[in-house]
Amino acid sequence: MTGLSADDLRNLRVMVVEDDKPTRMLTRTFLEHLGFSDVIERENAAQALNDVTRRHFDLIVTDLEMEPMNGLDLLLRVRRDANVTNPYVPVILITQHSDRDSVLRARDFGASAFVAKPVNFENLKRTVAAVLADKRPFVQCDAYSGPDRRRKDKLPKDGRYQRESDYKW
């Protein structure tokens, strides 16, 4: 799936955070079918936050829309809370709101990937494979904490600059 062996996947700890029990159970089943054996379920972000301060996780798959703390709040805390054991953990957000603004907001909060509901096995499989294979550096600064959002290593061939700051002296 990802260049990782079945043994590698079995040894990774995954958390599924979803307030809808059938969706949570289905997502867990999908992940177990991919080869993960250490998958825990949490029904809200507060439970998940408690766990990430006590245990190391290798992947988090969380719903965006939950109460009282939503998936973005959880993501922000995972990335910025000094008590979290692994602030670099890949986080996949799942939601029924897959409009452009929601995707950009998730990216800006430090999400590793975004999956639209209803979650299907093939889409989740591709997303998990991409996230686990992702070798982008992790960026931490005042305004952002998460995977490097830049996707290209070079400027366009025509020499155009990417940012206004690239050409202001």
Looking up residue 88, the CATH number of its domain turns out to be 3.40.50.2300
**Dihedral sign, Cα of residue 73, residue 78, residue 82, residue 85:** positive
Task: Kindly indicate the confidence band of residue 168, based on its pLDDT and cuts at 50, 70 and 90.
Answer: very low
Helices (H), 5-44: 6-10, 21-34
Evaluate whether residue 48 is within a structural domain.
Answer: yes
Domains held by the chain: number: 1
Specify if 112 maps to a domain.
yes
- Determine contact, residues 152/145, Cβ cutoff 8 Å: no
* Greatest mean pLDDT range, 53-57, 67-71, 115-119, 151-155: 53-57
* Interval 39-92: pLDDT, tens: 999 999 999 999 999 999 999 999 999 999 999 999 999 999 999 999 999 999
Asked if 45 and 24 touch (Cβ cutoff 8 Å), the reply is: no
Report yes or no on 158 lying in a domain: no
